[in-house]
Chain A
């Protein structure tokens, strides 16, 4: 393991100044479940690891009637264990419940998942479809970055050197909204997504028409991907196979998967369509107030 230093600042100011001091040779660590392994594998060789888990702002977890705020270090288990999240931001609970197994969920955070910028991140498609905004802090002050623009390439994000992610903010979903995240993995748990799809839909009061929708894909492009065309294919349309099929098609057109040991390009494209249909259908059911029973991986 590369020989790095370790700091655990207790204030945001301290963290920012550490990041600035080490000029890009510091890495922020929340749960560390990706980072520690990457350092061991030699993918990163930072001079210092800055443990952000003691900073109060990054641990903030507040669900009010105006919205949701999830600090960058809040671990997954707190998120999927929260009744309010399960009810109103269900896709986020879906994601957090299946990332890496229970032990990983004790530490891994959606903030870390986002900054890690893996193309197959399980929580990022959910954050995207729920309209998450990333709030960052750096020597030049605060920035707001829509999460669908946060990842810029495999392992690359929009943070400036010396900047860190503070929290992710969401607006309250409108009434008659529902969301869902599903992935295809070869086993039932513990795998990296071969394809991941998140959907958030808002229906009219009858539950018969889409008002708006957001669809995002994981593991089928260089970054998690918001597919605007898929959402547009649903907006204003009657809920039914025709619209859903158009959305699925749009999702496939936006996807640009590769062939690797986890799946071939052709397989991923096929499954993108299948999962998009299923995820939209589940989101619709939830928007209508129906319970959707789901066994992860099945």
Chain B
């Protein structure tokens, strides 16, 4: 779409101040941990000190007698689940696993696995009592990495687990295993494809377990009322999924639970699972009082889902004039203590940026004694991007071709079929590569010793899914928009802007509220880069509903047929020059027929997917292996940028998370399976002083599925940075990094290895 084709929007593309902003800069906004209720008790958890053990006995007697203690719960208090599979949040879940992850039953599968919970008058009493719970463990050998877990003599986490193969390729064997799932996708004939290649590169890669690192720990407060109705206040990426998870885990009807989503201090996929709500609900039931638990930072690291570490073997073939002929990969993702990693996404993303005529991808979901993994911003994509984007860099070096040219020559476009099946619609991969080629950063030569430049691309699917909203017109010409997508980054304002654009009014005239589960229709989680897209569609639908109601009302007022009346540009127009503005109709709604109340509910189709291409300049200290980021530019296809500041913010935030993933973030376990770096001191996320400005280029290739061409932007920015930085390190000091993170000792090791 050229600049001429782009519609002239009045509100979309502007930068209004966010509606919830004043509360957030004055400290008035209430987050999960800020809830205060009369008679509220404080809860603490007891967690396993062992990575793999059987629970023989739990003795809570002494704890229950301690001062201030009002209730204790263990896994025995949770109802049996059988082997039910339920669709929750972002995928199908085995309820037995979910339940025992919330509170362990007969086994613990990772250090920090929740074993018991206590509610007491104050937090100190709760913590002291938790220490007094006696647990008898039979300690078992842990296995901490995917390769070890797949070895013949590996300790087995779940005796009954057998490898399933949803893509149908493997026969299910009867041997106990840690491999929960095996996926296989094939396209064309890889043997033929490799035979056509002039250059073939094959390597193995390892990426460490990393955590989303949101600054706000998990928190939940519950009150189990005397009438059996439960209210839960929590910060979550999905109030409805919390409701559903809690209902399923506690065997109570959905309608008995109301979830009130508080403001949320970061999620990135990690606040979709509900760890605390069932626990505080049970403690409240037992004590008859509201109960609040805030997770400690150590528990957040130890026991909430990080994203999978991985082992990847990738083989890629290309002709000497730069055409990819074949790709073959095996990807093993850490599932953690229970099956269900995002291996499907990893498998789908690996070759997604390119036209790969012959491809084969095998994906393995592997249990290890680490916390159960969950989504982290484009889950699975960053790991595979690290592999393919560095292999491409190596191929380009061998054939003497510029990396951007190679990517342009092979770029996926409309009609390209992914190796895992789906065909792309309108997408912007090429455009992001071209944007980097033309940008000032790329055109500026990089000078100086031990400095290098690297580029990489990345892809994320972006979800559609279900959203509902309602909207009421106020007599003062404003609209109250009730939506249910918890707001992690300013989305309530982007939604208000879409409604404002539809109605021809200002963004300030729309008052967005994120409602609880009783106050709005069903909404899937805030995740998958879906809110501006799918909830946006629901908002537009509500806007059109208002338009239609106003048209009907005006027709009534003017006594003309509806088909002669139109909603245009913030007004309703009829025959003979009749005209009423939105504000005028709003003002007289009560006396002309009654309130204007509208709704929108969608089950949005999947989006066209988002592409990003990044360029980074680094400087390496060859004596210490330390890497400094000198300059960073991120180009991304953003569809239509509703609020450009928030789109830029997503790109900058995602890029910096990717930089952390690239350079220093990793879970560090000792041999017994104890997580040693469960603090922000030793889990090293980038500080302000570690990164430069992140320049952003917003490329707009509108997604035709959305009324305004919106494409989700939140996730793909995290995909390219590790590969881009690895490629830059290669240019700087001539070494190829195949392990994440590329911490100083690892870089130094490679540098010295190459020197000798």
Direct contact of A and B (CB under 8 A): yes
Interface residue ranges, A against B (CB under 8 Å): 1, 3, 184, 186-192, 194, 260-264, 267, 270-271, 274, 296-298
CB distance from A48 to the nearest CB of B (A): 17
Q: For the complex, give the distance between the alpha carbons of A173 and B473 in Å.
A: 77
Select the stretch in B172-180, B399-407, B675-683 that faces chain A. Answer: B675-683
- CB closest chain-A residue, reference B131: A42
Q: Are the CB atoms of A188 and B687 closer together than 8 Å?
A: yes
Q: For the complex, give the distance between the alpha carbons of A184 and B745 in Å.
A: 11
- CB closest chain-A residue, reference B123: A1
Q: Among A261, A274, A296, which residue has the most Cβ atoms of chain B within 10 A?
A: A261
- Total interface residues on B, CB under 8 Å, equals 23
Q: Are the CB atoms of B668 and A261 closer together than 8 Å?
A: yes
B187 within 8 Å of A by Cβ?
A: no
Q: Are the CB atoms of B664 and A186 closer together than 8 Å?
A: yes
B398 within 8 Å of A by Cβ?
A: no
Select the stretch in B446-454, B549-557, B623-631 that faces chain A. Answer: B623-631
Interface residue ranges, B against A (CB under 8 Å): 124, 127, 623-624, 626, 628, 663-664, 668, 676-677, 681-682, 684, 686-687, 689-690, 743-745, 748-749
CB distance from A74 to the nearest CB of B (A): 24
Contact A264:B687 (CB < 8 A) given known A186-B626, A191-B681, A274-B623: no
Q: For the complex, give the distance between the alpha carbons of A267 and B689 in Å.
A: 24
Q: Are the CB atoms of A190 and B748 closer together than 8 Å?
A: no
Instruction: Name A261's contact: one of B127, B682, B687, B689 (CB within 8 Å).
Output: B682
Q: Are the CB atoms of B677 and A184 closer together than 8 Å?
A: no
Contact A190:B677 (CB < 8 A) given known A3-B124, A261-B668, A298-B628: no
Q: Which residues of A contact B686 (CB under 8 A)?
A: 187
Identify whether the interface residues of B are mostly helix, strand, loop, or mixed.
loop
Instruction: Name A274's contact: one of B624, B681, B684 (CB within 8 Å).
Output: B624
- CB closest chain-A residue, reference B675: A261
Q: Are the CB atoms of A270 and B681 closer together than 8 Å?
A: no
Q: Are the CB atoms of B624 and A187 closer together than 8 Å?
A: no
Q: Which residues of B contact A261 (CB under 8 A)?
A: 668, 676-677, 682
Q: Which residues of A contact B690 (CB under 8 A)?
A: 187-189, 297
Q: Are the CB atoms of B624 and A1 closer together than 8 Å?
A: no
CB distance from A248 to the nearest CB of B (A): 11
CB distance from A265 to the nearest CB of B (A): 11
Contact A186:B748 (CB < 8 A) given known A1-B124, A274-B623: no
Q: Give me 12 other A-B pairs in contact (C-beta within 8 A), A191-B684, A261-B682 excluded.
A: A3-B124, A186-B663, A186-B684, A187-B686, A189-B687, A189-B689, A189-B690, A190-B681, A261-B677, A264-B745, A267-B748, A298-B628
- CB closest chain-A residue, reference B628: A298
Q: Are the CB atoms of B681 and A267 closer together than 8 Å?
A: no
Q: Are the CB atoms of B744 and A186 closer together than 8 Å?
A: yes
Q: Which residues of A contact B749 (CB under 8 A)?
A: 267
User: Number of contacts between A and B (CB, 8 Å)?
Assistant: 53
Q: Are the CB atoms of B687 and A267 closer together than 8 Å?
A: no
CB distance from A268 to the nearest CB of B (A): 9
CB distance from B618 to the nearest CB of A (A): 12
- CB closest chain-A residue, reference B752: A270
Q: Which residues of A contact B676 (CB under 8 A)?
A: 260-261
Q: For the complex, give the distance between the alpha carbons of A260 and B687 in Å.
A: 23
- CB closest chain-B residue, reference A275: B624
CB distance from B671 to the nearest CB of A (A): 12
- CB closest chain-A residue, reference B127: A1
Q: Are the CB atoms of A187 and B748 closer together than 8 Å?
A: no
Q: Which residues of A contact B744 (CB under 8 A)?
A: 184, 186, 194, 267
Instruction: Name A270's contact: one of B663, B677, B743, B748 (CB within 8 Å).
Output: B748
Q: Can you list 16 contacts pairing A with B, beta carbon distance less than 8 Å? A: A1-B124, A3-B124, A186-B743, A186-B744, A187-B690, A188-B628, A188-B687, A188-B689, A188-B690, A189-B690, A261-B676, A267-B744, A267-B749, A271-B624, A274-B624, A297-B689
Q: For the complex, give the distance between the alpha carbons of A191 and B687 in Å.
A: 10
Q: For the complex, give the distance between the alpha carbons of A83 and B624 in Å.
A: 32
Q: For the complex, give the distance between the alpha carbons of A270 and B748 in Å.
A: 10
- CB closest chain-B residue, reference A1: B124
Q: For the complex, give the distance between the alpha carbons of A298 and B268 in Å.
A: 30
- CB closest chain-B residue, reference A297: B689
Q: Are the CB atoms of A184 and B624 closer together than 8 Å?
A: yes
Q: Which residues of A contact B677 (CB under 8 A)?
A: 261
Q: Which residues of B contact A262 (CB under 8 A)?
A: 682
Q: Which residues of A contact B668 (CB under 8 A)?
A: 261
Q: Among B127, B624, B677, B684, which residue has the most Cβ atoms of chain A within 10 A?
A: B624
Q: For the complex, give the distance between the alpha carbons of A263 and B676 in Å.
A: 13
- CB closest chain-A residue, reference B677: A261
CB distance from A118 to the nearest CB of B (A): 12
